[in-house]
Chain A
Amino acid sequence: MSLLAVPALGPSRAARRPASAERVLSSGLRVLAVRRAGVPLVELRLRIPFAGRAAVHRARASLLSSSMLLGTDQRTELELAHALQEVGTELSVSSDADRLLVGGVVLRAGLPALLDLLAEVLTAASYPSSLVEGERRRLIEHLRVARSQPDVIARVARAERLFGAHPYGRVLPEQDEVAAQTATALRRLHRDRVQPGGSTLVLVGDLSPARTLDAVEASLSDWPAGAAPVSSAAVPPLVPGPLLLVDRAGSVQSSLRFGGRSCARTDPGYPAMQLANLVFGGYFSSRYVENIREDKGYTYTPRSSIEHRQVISSFYIGADVATKVTAPALLETRYELGRMATLPVRQAELDTARQYALGNLAMSTATQAGLASTLIGLAGPGLDLDWLAAYRRGLLEVTVEDVFEQSRTFLAPSGLTTVIVGDADAVRADLATLGEVE
């Protein structure tokens, strides 16, 4: 039977840049309002720089983020929750080593009310001692539960290897550090660090950009400027070290995790690095997926990605494989990485990855929530819609040679750290045949 021809693509419709407005308030808060009128909602994201050098900072920041909505000087926890629910919203607060992030979505008509409630939380969160005590106990239990998940165990070990004593080296705070935090310490941390200077507020949705900036300025005028934000310290050079084997007795799978450096989004080589990542393992049509999933059936979850933090970007590879094929899966991973680092990719592979990256970029920023999350993710290094447009143009220009250069620098197996979480007794001997095991 002769094969039917696959239909060609029609002409593509260019996406238009959305209307937007930006203003830096006198307090130092940067506000970005973008009109995307898909549905009558507005998405809100607020990023506050929250790095800290002290060992207990991470624990204190984690408890602060889970306690920030426990009431204000004007409202109890329940009154605050009701007021938010009244306009169809709920706020979430999270933190990592770089920032505090407040997120929410609101019915269009409720935006002024939400901005007023946000201002109230920012300026007058009360951290009632009895409720903070409940959150502290709950956070400790959550951490205990989280540390039993293989992916968390692997992330903890990989981050320690990649970043050492730097705050990025700690994925989670220790339970005993959380136990030592008090409501008084949270109030002090909030006063000192929940500051408009260096912070970014992104609003995306069915809104008028200019009028929205005025509304934000009016609502947040009482959020006073404070001390200059603390930024994250520089990261020490990576020493890949030998393969680190973390024992999880009886594990029916091994979690393979690899990590190294990547160039940052501000680097002119970044579009080529992203395409190198895609060709290697960043999407389904990649070499890694074809090899260890669709050919060998070792795993359901092979993947690679680039992770961005305030002062560094890193390359990530992960796969969860059956215990008995742990060493063969490691071998195939190194083989595919070695191919990337020593041989150029085919033009067709590059073109497929490029089209995917362009389409994915367009679709991930087509929704209000997607665009808001993308923009707040860019806010750390001060990037915006201009960067998105430049990144898109950059993807169009990447050559096979550009991908090879990035792959040699960042995908070479000799430069990557390797962590395997699994049943050490079952896998150690096989792994040792491939090299040193720690």
Chain B
Amino acid sequence: MPAAPSYPIERLTLENGLRVVLAPDRRAAVVGVAVYYDVGMRSEPEGRTGFAHLFEHLMFQGSANVEKMAHMRHVQSAGGTVNGSTRRDYTNYFEILPSNALELALFLEADRMRSPRITEENLANQISVVKEEIRVNVLNQPYGGFPWLSLPPVLFDTFPNAHNGYGDFADLDSATVADAAAFFDRYYAPGNAVLCLCGDLPVQPTAELAERYFGSIPARPTPPPPFAGEPDLTSERRKSTVDSLARAPAVAMGWRIPDPVGDLDSYLPYVVLAEILSEGDASRLEQRLVRRDRAALQQSAYLGLFGDPFDSRDPVTMTVQVTHPRQVAVDSVLKAVDEELDRLATEGLEDGELRRVNARMATQLLREADSVDGRTLQFAAYELVHGRAELLGEMPGRLAGVTADSVAAAAATLRPERRAVLELVAGGGK
């Protein structure tokens, strides 16, 4: 495997608890600024489904010194881009800008960490926008929310793991400014966040800028991590759901896999397993389901709700998802997947298979690391979830160290009795 570029990391913690990661790389005149808050869909209280994501929208509605729309305008008129997202275990905000706008981005992020401008009018407006987001991505869309919204309640029993993180409309409609203020107070403390600065920046002056803009934000208590543990399945669970817009049936299988933070060495073979099963024309499920059996329109195997294996804490799900023609029975799809897993578990990998898959993974990891935005977000996520931004540079080597035996052993754990199966019945017309 080729050597990845090395990425020096500097870190400091401000007195208010804000963790700051600096990753200088002066090749291009671009900087990335990201703030990751340790709050996600799993932190939402019952009756407030979708609140973490709604709150992400509210953080773009202005702050003490920044009018509504002005945050975006300042960044964009500096030639930069800005966005945010809500995951299971974090909510992130980031700007990618020409490096002469670094201080601007620090000012903007610090201003909303100190005091976002949450009003009745902005809340009502963003509830409307979020409902249209859910309509366009879920309610008005074939396969909308499949399986990221519909599989967790089959696999999990506790509210943090099982509930709809996009939000029920009734919960969204009943959200109040007081709820938002309380949520901010509890979860958006500086000690509950990581600030990651990456790219064309000088380390010491940038550390001083971070102190200047963020250092005076008062410290607040940080919340305990959300309760997330729950026992593994001991017998298969199956449910089905009718999608009235879908024209071809689909099925998703989910298994619990090892703790990515507490036991990364046991987790990594599953990352390689997903590659072997599903990535590319040479992969096992592509060859079996698509080419040989003609039983699938498409197949995928991935870790994490959104396909990012490193954005979540335990429990993480490995999903195998197949869209298939109506004339193919779902049980024959499940049987073929089981046979392929059995074959891996009992016969192991083929000669050269691990070497080829490693080459492909190396390419993909390098490609993701080629952009400042890719690096900024990964450094920040590794620091927040795993406590080690260095994992970005180390991951190619760590994955290359995964053995064929450990991949076969991982496949052996994906037994029918440990899985949740969700069938999507195609209710749409021809």
Q: Which residues of A contact B76 (CB under 8 A)?
A: 283-285, 352, 355-356, 359
Complex CA gap A3/B135 in Å reads 38
Q: Are A134 and B245 in contact (CB under 8 A)?
A: no
Contact of A300 among B81, B133, B281, B291 (CB under 8 A): B133
Say whether B64 contacts A1, CB under 8 Å.
yes
The reply to whether B81 and A39 form a contact with Cβ atoms under 8 Å apart is no
Closest Cβ–Cβ distance, residue A114 to chain B (whole Å): 11
Q: Given A6-B107, A90-B280, A300-B133, A41 and B356 touching (CB < 8 A)?
A: no
Cα–Cα, bound, A101→B297 (Å): 22
Q: B45-81: contact bitstring with A at CB < 8 Å (1 yes, 0 no)?
A: 0000000000000000000111011001110111111
Choose the segment among A57-65, A139-147, A176-184 that binds chain B (4+ C-beta atoms closer than 8 Å).
A139-147
Asked if A10 and B369 sit within 8 Å, CB to CB, the answer is no
Which of A102-110, A155-163, A336-344 contacts the other chain? A102-110
Cβ contacts under 8 Å, B27 to chain A: 38
With an 8 A cutoff between CB atoms, is B287 at the interface? yes
Q: Please, how many angstroms separate the alpha-carbon atoms of A147 and B142 in the complex?
A: 10
Q: Verify if B5 is at the interface (C-beta below 8 Å from A).
A: yes
Q: Residue-by-residue, is A6-44 near B (CB-CB < 8 Å gives 1, otherwise 0)?
A: 110111111100000000000000000000001111000
* Cβ–Cβ contact B126 & A148, under 8 A: no
Which residues of the partner chain A approach B125 to less than 8 Å between Cβ atoms? 294-297
Q: Across the interface, do B73 and A41 meet the contact criterion of CB distance under 8 Å?
A: no
CA distance A82 to B354 in the complex (A): 11
Q: Which residues of B contact A320 (CB under 8 A)?
A: 132, 135-136, 140
Q: Which residues of B contact A134 (CB under 8 A)?
A: 290-291, 294
Does B139 count as interface, using CB distance less than 8 angstroms?
yes
B360/A89 in contact, CB under 8 A: yes
User: Which chain B residue has the least Cβ–Cβ distance from A351?
Assistant: B77
Question: Provided the pairs A108-B2, A355-B77 are in contact, do residues A362 and B98 lie with their beta carbons within 8 angstroms?
Answer: yes
Cα(A322)–Cα(B127), bound, Å: 13
Q: Using known A-B contacts A9-B101, A144-B430, determine if residue A87 contacts B371 with beta carbons closer than 8 Å.
A: no
Q: How far is the CA of A242 from the CA of B3 in the complex (A)?
A: 60
A39 interface neighbour in B68, B100, B369, Cβ under 8 Å:
B369
Residues of A within 8 A of B85 (CB): none
| Contacts of A105-133 to chain B: CB distance below 8 A | 105-110, 131
Q: Does B372 have its Cβ within 8 Å of any Cβ on chain A?
A: yes
**CB within 8 Å for A253 and B132 given contacts A13-B100, A352-B77:** yes
Q: Of B69, B97, B369, which is within 8 A of A290 by CB?
A: B69
Pick from A212-220, A365-373, A409-417 the stretch touching chain B: A365-373
**How long is the Cα–Cα vector from A403 to B214 in the complex, in angstroms?**
40
A321 lies within 8 A of B366 (CB): no
How many angstroms between the C-alpha atoms of A265 and B82 in the bound complex? 27
Is B248's beta carbon under 8 Å from chain A? yes
Q: Are A141 and B248 in contact (CB under 8 A)?
A: yes
Is B2's CB under 8 angstroms from A107's CB?
A: yes
Most buried by B among A137, A141, A359: A359
Residues in chain B near residue A299, CB distance under 8 A: 129, 132
Interface 1/0s, chain A 265-292, versus B by CB < 8 A? 0000000000000000001110000100
Q: Which A residues are in CB contact (< 8 Å) with B397?
A: none
Instruction: Tell me whether B370 and A41 are in contact (CB under 8 A).
Output: yes
Give chain B residues whose Cβ lies under 8 Å from the Cβ of A294: 68-69, 125, 129
B89 interface residue per 8 A CB criterion: no
Q: With A and B bound together, what is the CA distance between A107 and B370 in angstroms?
A: 13
Q: Report whether A15 and B140 are in contact in the complex, using a CB–CB cutoff of 8 Å.
A: no
Most buried by A among B103, B130, B132, B291: B132
- A interface footprint on B100-112 (CB within 8 Å = 1, 0 otherwise): 1111101100010
Q: A74 contacts the other chain (Cβ, under 8 Å)? A: no
CB<8 Å pairs between A and B, sample of 16: A7-B104, A7-B107, A13-B99, A13-B100, A39-B366, A39-B367, A40-B366, A85-B359, A86-B352, A88-B363, A145-B142, A290-B69, A299-B132, A301-B132, A360-B81, A369-B370
Name the interface residues of B255-275: CB closer than 8 Å to any CB of A.
none
Q: How far is the CB of B279 from chain A (nearest CB, A)?
A: 8
Contacts of A252 in B (CB 8 A): 135, 139-140
Which residues does chain B contribute within 8 Å of A301, judged by CB atoms?
132-133, 136
Residue from A6, A15, A69 within 8 A of B29 (CB atoms) = A15
Report if B395 contacts A (CB, 8 A): no
Closest to A422 in B: B140
8 tightest Cβ-Cβ pairs between the two chains A and B:
A359-B79, A297-B128, A13-B29, A88-B363, A88-B359, A81-B282, A300-B133, A81-B281
- B142 near A39 (CB under 8 angstroms)? no
Is B247 an interface position by the 8 A CB rule?
A: yes
Query: Which one of B4, B124, B131, B356 contacts A322 once the chains associate, using CB atoms below 8 Å?
Result: B131
Give the complex CA separation of A298 and B133 in angstroms. 10
* Interface 0/1 of B200-225, CB less than 8 Å to A: 10000000000000000000000000
Whether the pair B140, A148 counts as a contact (CB closer than 8 A) is: no
1/0 contact string of B224-262 vs chain A (CB within 8 Å) = 000000000000000000001111100000000000000
Interface positions of B from 331 to 390, Cβ below 8 Å from A? 352, 355-357, 359-360, 362-363, 366-367, 369-372
Residue B307 at the A interface, CB < 8 A?
Answer: no
Complex formed: what's the CA distance from A40 to B369 in Å? 11
Is A89's CB under 8 angstroms from B370's CB? Answer: no
Q: Is A251 an interface residue (CB 8 A)?
A: yes
Which of B97, B141, B370 touches A149 (beta carbons < 8 Å)? B141
B178 interface residue (CB < 8 Å to A): no
Question: Could you say which of B28, B103, B106, B352 contacts A366, with CB atoms under 8 Å apart?
Answer: B28
Known: A145-B248, A322-B131, A360-B81. A150 touches B141 (CB 8 A): yes
> Which residues in A have their C-beta under 8 angstroms from that of B99?
10, 13
Minimum CB–CB distance from B147 to chain A (whole Å) comes to 16
CA distance A124 to B104 in the complex (A): 55
Closest chain A CB from B1 CB (angstroms)? 9
A138 touches B (CB below 8 Å): yes
For residue B317, CB closer than 8 A to chain A, the reply is no
Kindly provide the distance from the CB of A402 to the nearest chain B CB, expressed in whole angstroms. Answer: 19
Indicate with 1 or 0, residue by residue over A323-367, a CB within 8 angstroms of chain B CB atoms.
000000000000000000000000000011001101110110011
Instruction: Check: B392 CB closer than 8 A to any chain A CB.
Output: no
